[in-house]
Amino acid sequence: MDPKAVLEGRVPGRPPVGLILGMTVSGLCAVVALGTEAALGGASGSGCSSPSCRSRC
């Protein structure tokens, strides 16, 4: 039982609005980042990340 939530007229045990908004924004940023990575072909899957490895690929 959360007395502050009862006094504010909210349901006790509900996550704060800031947490919900933060998770939503984080999820949208992740989707945009993954979409950009896929659109630009950055995730080639070759496994070569260092310059010395790239010359052998």
CB atoms within 10 A of CB 54: 10
DSSP secondary structure string, 1-57? --HHHHHHTPPTTPPPHHHHHHHHHHHHHHHHHHHHHHHHT--------SHHHHTT-
pTM of the model: 0.55
pLDDT at 23: 97
b/e map 16-36, b = 16+ CB within 10 Å: eeeeeeeeeeeeeeeeeeeee
Q: Which residue has the higher pLDDT, 55 or 3?
A: 3
Mind listing the pLDDT tens digit for each residue in 8-33? 887 778 788 899 999 999 999 999 99
Q: Does residue 56 surpass a pLDDT of 70? A: no
Find where tokens 């007395």 sit. Answer: 3
pLDDT at 33: 93
Mind listing the pLDDT tens digit for each residue in 28-49? 999 999 999 888 876 565 556 6
